[in-house]
Structure 1
Amino acid sequence: MTETIKTPVQYIDVEEDYSGQRIDNFLMARLKSVPKSVIYRVLRKGEVRVNKKRIKPEYKLQAGDQVRVPPLVLHDEPEKEPVSVGLSMVKNLESHILFEDNDLIVLNKPTGMAVHGGSGLSFGVIEALRALRPTARHLELVHRLDRDTSGCLLIAKKRSVLTHLHEQLRLKTVEKKYWALVAGQWDSKIKKVTEPLRKNTLQSGERVVRVDEAQGKPSETRFKILQRYEEGTLVEAFPVTGRTHQIRVHTACKGHAIACDDKYGDNEFTAQMQKLGLNRLYLHAKTLSFTHPGTGKVLTCDAPLDNALSSVLEKLKRK
């Protein structure tokens, strides 16, 4: 049964790191469980005060400002079954941290764990990390990984770091390389796939991406063969653009679907891999390279394969 909760008045002191951020964006980042419509309503009604004064949604905060957030009425939905199943992952998340300092965290995200709450889950990686690092008050995802994809995930601890890394993503200076086990023998001549992609949302809310020459967005993935097997090919994929399900659709459209892909996969190949013990999508963000905002040096992180991925390779026959 849905419960109604009324939050107390909050007073938030704005730190230097948030100077120049719009008040609406600041509140949405801090009040993630509050719908955007509610935030904009209290802003329009003048219920949010900065230094005891009314402000507009486009007001840019200054260091030292004090923000008063009025009481808000929230509707608390009952927890759903998947939440309790995933709590064991949260406890083990500490061991998945590949790199951490005062500015950022690089995590080897486990498969099956969403990067943020939603889709029936009240928690995800970012919520779990906030629970593990209660003193790091400004943790934010720099980019995302699909729930079934494992590997390198970058999280910023400061807004200035987040802004710096987002700029690197915009300029395409962040290098993300994925490993994927695909059906069949990958043609060595296919070094680049550029089919335009269009995202569709079905009535069920499920996202499906298709190649669409007319209305699709420009997309590019570069490929390199790592190892040929009698049963398939292990490839390295470097996505130049960052479209939803890009690697999964680009491999599938060339006739080489990724093992155990329940959206775009090859049923026969998936069944063959499942017989070898593979029970997850074989897509892993293996390495991540970027310029560290604090040191100015290039940082490269490598995420080891989990047992499910490494063990299936040992069972395949090399060519």
Structure 2
Amino acid sequence: MTGVQVLAVADSDADQRLDRWFRRLFPHIPQGRIEKMCRKGEIRVDGGRVKPATRLQSGQEVRIPPLPDPMPGDALGAPRVQKSAISDADAAMMRRAVIYQDDHLIAINKPAGLPTQGGSGQGARHVDALAACLAREGEDKPRLVHRLDKDTSGVLLLARSRQAAQALTDAFRHRETRKIYWAAVAGAPLPRMGKIKFGLVKAAGHGKGGEGEKMRCLHPSEIATTDGAKRAETDYATLSALGGRVSWVAMVPITGRTHQLRAHIAELGHPIVGDGKYGGSSQENLGDGWGAQLGGEISRKLHLHARYLKFRHPFSKRDLTLTAALPDHMARTWDLFDWRAEDVPVDPFYDELG
């Protein structure tokens, strides 16, 4: 067990998330433990309490509480999850998921149901851990630069180096990327194209300890007077509608709030197919529910997919456009409704809809 340590943030680590900085220095400490130490105030920056996502600044002093010593074989500075700890099946799954790679970055089509990062109740099987199998000989484990929710599939970027991670993280933070999601939603949104500007605030769930918390939408005029509320903005466009029963919708998150797309489109009365959190019991196709199951033909999984990502490559400075194929459960739904990618614009917000 180590004693209390106080470490200064180096210039090269400026603007890095606290949890990522911590895991690089102490790779044997799991993400869940870092989050717990932050909640309890055991990790402090310049004497103040912090969150795992706090951005560090050069020269700040980070208080590190006593930590367990690494187990034999755990080398400080090495990736926390070694390639040998990843099953052959998971390694093959990650390699199949790669849709682009070069000397600086990797893009995968994240499978639905696979968490992006570890955390409370997520276990050790997540992209951040499994990415070690994508590292080249002598390289560090690829770094996450953004995230997708566990049940959302699609384009996810990882960086091969600290420099690439910083450049890509900055691009996401400064909204220098273009992200388009595809979803199947209940009913037919009207107007067919629009902008959603509801604010979002976290609402506790009904379970013991607040389990099942979700985001609640607010009128824009209520944001300033509601504690914890944040501005949120989503563009949407209806690409195809099936008799007012179910629609194929494209969405662009102008801001990047938790569950933003799911909460926003549900607030319009058109929840995403398979979204039990924001769609409620009407997902079951019972009584007067909107019946997105269409008699049981449609998967109960969430129909939300990060289809398209466009950004400027941090080193070549060329625009890079990536698209990810639909996951199997969504592909079956698209086939059932005869929805085809070639029949719609790549970016319906810039191109004319037919």
- When you count strand as a share of all residues, which structure comes out higher? 1
Residue in 1 aligned with 2:92? 91
Asked whether 1:212 is paired with 2:218, we answer: yes
User: CA RMSD of the aligned region, Å?
Assistant: 3.4
Q: 2:296 aligns with which of 275, 292, 295?
A: 275
| Pairing 1:236–2:228 present | no
Relative to the length of structure 2, the TM-score reads: 0.68
Q: Is the 8 A contact 1:194 1:218 kept in 2?
A: yes
Structure 1 contact 43–57 (Cα < 8 Å) conserved = no
Partner deviation per Cα, 1:188-242 (whole Å, 9 max, x = no partner) = 3541101001123542444410113332211110011111113311010011000
- CA offset at residue 177 of structure 1? 0.3
**Offset from partner CA, 1:272-312 (integer Å, 9 cap, x none):** 25711413100000001111101001101000112211111
Contact 2:233 2:255 in 1 (8 A): yes
The one-letter amino acid paired with 1:21 is D
AA paired with 1:224? A
Please identify, of 35-44 and 277-286, the stretch whose mean Cα deviation from structure 2 is larger: 35-44
2-side partners of 1:317 and 1:176: how far apart?
24
1:133 aligns with 2:135: yes
Q: Which residue of 2 aligns with 1:170?
A: 173
SS at match of 1:93: helix
The question of 1:258 aligning with 2:272 is answered yes
Q: Compared with structure 1, are the counterparts of its residues 297 and 276 closer, same or farther at alpha carbon in structure 2 (3 Å cutoff)?
A: same
Structure 1 residue matching 2:271: 3-state secondary structure: coil
1:124 aligned onto 2:126:
yes
Instruction: Please say if 1:160 is aligned against 2:163.
Output: yes
What is the identity, as a one-letter code, of the residue corresponding to 2:94? L
For structure 1, which runs of at least 5 residues remain unmatched after alignment? 1-5, 8-17, 45-55, 61-69, 76-85
Per-residue CA deviation, residues 41-96 of structure 1 (Å, 9 max, x unaligned), is 7999xxxxxxxxxxx98369xxxxxxxxx983479xxxxxxxxxx98455312111
Query: Which residue, 6, 13, 24 being the options, matches 1:21?
Result: 13
Aligned to 1:305: 326
- Give the Cα–Cα distance (whole angstroms) in 2 for the partners of residues 256 and 196 of structure 1: 17
1: CA distance, partners of 2:204 / 2:27:
23
1:245 aligns with 2:259: yes
Tell me, in whole angstroms, the C-alpha distance in 2 between the residues paired with 1:42 and 1:146: 28
What corresponds to 2:343 in structure 1? none
Q: What is the number of residues matched between the two proteins? A: 274
Q: Which amino acid is 1:164 matched to?
A: A
Aligned to 1:72: 68
3-state SS in 2 of match to 1:114: coil
Matched residues in 1 for 2:241 and 2:275: separation? 19
| Percent of aligned positions that are identical | 29
In structure 2, the residue matched to 1:181 is 184
**2:124 is the counterpart of 1:110:** no
Whole-angstrom distance in 1 between the partners of 2:69 and 2:177? 41
Distance 1:146 1:41, change over 3 A: closer
**How far did 1:108 drift?**
0.3
Q: Does 1:149 align with 2:152?
A: yes
Give the equivalent residue in structure 1 for 2:79.
Answer: none
8 Å contact kept, 2:144–2:159: yes
1:244 is displaced (CA, Å) by 0.4
In structure 2, the gaps of 5 or more residues are 3-9, 47-57, 72-86, 340-354
Residues 270/73 of structure 1: CA separation in 2 closer, same or farther (3 Å cut):
farther
- TM-score of the superposed pair, with normalisation by structure 1: 0.75
Partner-residue secondary structure (3-state), 1:20? helix
Distance 1:312 1:42, change over 3 A: closer
Matches within 5 A, 1:27-66: 27-34=22-29, 35-36=33-34, 37=37, 58=60
1:201/1:154 Cα in 2 relative to 1: closer, same or farther (>3 Å)? farther
Equivalent-residue separation in structure 2 for 1:28 and 1:273 (angstroms): 46
Structure 1 residues 270 and 107: CA distance shift in structure 2, 3 A: farther
